[in-house]
Structure 1
Amino acid sequence: MPRNDGAQRDHGVEPSRALQDAVDPCAPLSSETVYTGRIWNVVTESFAFPHSDEPLVRDYIDHTGAVSVVVLDEQQRILLQRQYRHPVGMRLWEIPAGLLDVDGEPALEAARRELAEEADLAAETWHVLTDFFNTPGYSSEAQRVFLARGLSEVPEHERHLRTDEEADMQSAWVPLDEAVGLVLEGRLHNPSAVVGILAAHAAAATGFAGLRPADSPWDEHPRLRP
């Protein structure tokens, strides 16, 4: 009889240290923009896939990408801001974030700009905290989450005039441990906030050792690939 000691069997899964998402696009056989929006477009593409006898057809949102910022002060508190989001009909607690919608603007500079515009803050120390795709099943949106520390206020005469949904944003400084609790209790729902809070909490446990430089390449972003 084989010994059953509860050990997990290897089913061909790579060791965790070897796991990495791979850039491996299927070249489109056809591509058509079927909707042109103010911020993003909808594209229909067909492509050959190795396990399908016929070309596959997919619609997806062609997105510019975005950046967001985990802002930590000296007391290990994270800045959260409440903003109205019409598609879900909710006011969500989020971290400062914005689109990569300025041609040629590096992701780090976009993050600096968004931090100043949304929070009236500048930061001395920047790192890449993590990267993720927001909804890869139907959108090309890639998001880079930065960690910003060493904070200072933007002079009042240089501050951005916030309008539309940003006009009545509220801000709160929340201890990082408490913010994790808010995520796990289902009280926070914004994806960049959820990802950023959990990533920052994990990074804090190591003293933020091993974080990537703020200007690290971002080749996974569909629009930034070599």
Structure 2
Amino acid sequence: MDHDEADARRGSWSRLTSTRVFSSPWFETRRDTAIRPDGSTGLYDHVVSTGSVTVVAVDDAGLVVVTRQWIYTHDGVQWRLPAGRIEPADQGAEPAARRELKEEAGLSAREWRRLGVINCADSFTNHRDHAFFATGLTQGTANLDPGEADLEIRRIPFEQALSLVVHGEMPHAGSAYAILMARTLGLG
């Protein structure tokens, strides 16, 4: 199927209703009734979020800033890159990335490059993670939330970060995507 045909089929979807089932400061769940391209009607339960950001921050020595912390929803400790949600007060993904890098690692970056966006759990949520590459780092003070009290910051060679991704030791989708995109673009 070519892109034009896929776009035409997408245009034949129609939302009849959308009902909020649950809402919190972080996300909401909705139940939509939609008409599909074949004319049938279906229910779609899904999570709506503001999205998130992930940052590949590389210092002047070429080391990547990584975090290690307990991730409650996955019931375990994980390696990740600095990351977090886009807050309602943020003026877009890049300001959110700047804020998250500062909050988690106490770092500011002089240069920023957008790596791309990855959809996370398509059939379940609209959640998108925006990935960035940051250099020209300046150390400041982190400002961790209570749920991040166990967050450790480390700096590791890019190859080691890539190895964590390849061997499934950095399962966070945004982190894996960001590391792979940085490599693909010749940045790491």
Paired residues of 1:177 and 1:201 also in contact (CA < 8 A)? no
C-alpha separation between the residues in 2 aligned to 1:74 and 1:161?
Answer: 23
* Contiguous gaps of at least 5 residues in structure 2: none
Match of 1:124 among 90, 97, 110: 110
The structure whose residues are more often helix, as a share, is 2
State how far apart, in whole Å, the 2-side matches of 1:55 and 1:123 are: 49
**Residue among 21, 32, 35 paired with 1:34:** 21
- RMSD, aligned α-carbons: 2.3
Q: Does residue 50 of structure 2 align to residue 75 of structure 1?
A: no
Deviations 1:54-82 (A, max 9, x none): 21211000111111111012232211101
Q: Does 1:111 align with 2:97?
A: yes
Matches within 5 A, 1:158-197: 159-197=141-179
> May I ask how many residue pairs the two structures share in their alignment?
185
Contact 1:94 1:193 in 2 (8 A): yes
Q: TM-score of the superposition, structure 2-length normalised?
A: 0.88
Contact map agreement 1:83 1:91 (CA 8 A) in 2:
yes
Other-structure match for 2:31: 44
Question: Any conservation in 1 of the 2:79–2:169 contact (CA below 8 Å)?
Answer: no
AA at the equivalent of 2:17: S
Runs of 4+ in structure 1 deviating by more than 6 angstroms, as ranges, are none
In the alignment, what sits opposite 2:70?
84
What's the offset of the Cα at 1:22? 6.3
Q: Percent identity?
A: 25
Residues 184-221 of structure 1: CA deviation (Å, up to 9, x unaligned) = 122221111111111111112xx58xxxxxxxxxxxxx
Q: For residues 101-142 of structure 1, what are the alpha-carbon distances to aligned partners after superposition, in whole Å with 9 as ceiling and x for unaligned?
A: 223522211111111111011000001012111111110111
Q: Distance in 2 between matches of 1:81 and 1:22?
A: 39
Distance 2:164 2:87 in 1: 31
1:218 corresponds in structure 2 to none
Distance 1:22 1:147, change over 3 A: farther
Matches of 1:128 and 1:74, distance apart in 2:
19
- The structure having more radius of gyration, on CA atoms, is 1
Residue type at the aligned position of 2:31: T
Q: Is the 8 A contact 1:83 1:165 kept in 2?
A: no
* AA partner of residue 135 (structure 1): A
Of Structure 1 and Structure 2, the greater strand share is in: 2
Q: Distance in 1 between matches of 2:108 and 2:73?
A: 30
Unaligned runs of at least 5 residues, structure 1: 1-11, 209-226
Counterpart residue type for residue 108 of structure 1: E
Aligned equivalent of 1:143: 129
- Residue identity opposite 2:85 in structure 1: L
